[in-house]
């Protein structure tokens, strides 16, 4: 099994299972964990759209053995979820917008 195939399997199966694990008891999580969850979900979804679009390219476009198609097909779901988690972790903090936690946690 090559590294590309491993990245595809991790992006296709392990990332959604990890998101399911984090999303379990979603209401009981802190705001930062909810941001990380949604960052992973949105990044993975965007990566999946990129993967599907890359696999639908006509074969004549990737006949020459370009590396770009390989990265788009094999790595986009994994990279997309990592970028989503990093974006959620590093950015979009509460800057005094007045929006506070809505208190969805169980008591």
User: Average pLDDT for residues 65-88, to the nearest whole number?
Assistant: 88
d(CA 55, CA 37): 27
Identify the three-state secondary structure at position 83: helix
- Out of 17-26, 36-45, 56-65, 96-105, pick the least confident: 96-105
Does residue 47 contact residue 11 with C-beta atoms inside 8 Å? Answer: yes
Q: What is the DSSP letter of 105?
A: S
Position 77 pLDDT exceeds 90 = yes
Q: What is the mean pLDDT of residues 65-69?
A: 77
18-22, 25-29, 41-45, 95-99: the lowest-pLDDT one = 95-99
pLDDT at residue number 96 = 47
The DSSP secondary-structure symbol of 57 reads: S
Q: Which of 13, 85, 10, 78 is nearest to 47 (CA)?
A: 78
Q: Which residues contact 64 (CB under 8 A, 6 or more apart)?
A: none
Sign for the pseudo-dihedral over CA of 80, 85, 86, 87: positive
């Amino acid at each position: 099994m090559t590294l590309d195939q491993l990245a595809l399997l991790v992006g296709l199966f392990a990332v959604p299972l990890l998101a399911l694990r984090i999303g379990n008891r979603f209401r009981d999580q802190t705001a930062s964990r909810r941001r990380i969850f949604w960052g992973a979900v949105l990044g993975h979804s965007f990566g999946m759209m990129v993967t599907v679009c890359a696999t639908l390219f006509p074969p004549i476009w990737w006949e020459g053995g370009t590396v770009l198609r390989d990265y788009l097909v094999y790595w986009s779901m994994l990279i997309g979820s990592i970028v989503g988690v990093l974006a959620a972790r590093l950015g979009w903090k509460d800057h005094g917008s007045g929006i506070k936690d809505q208190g969805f946690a169980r008591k």
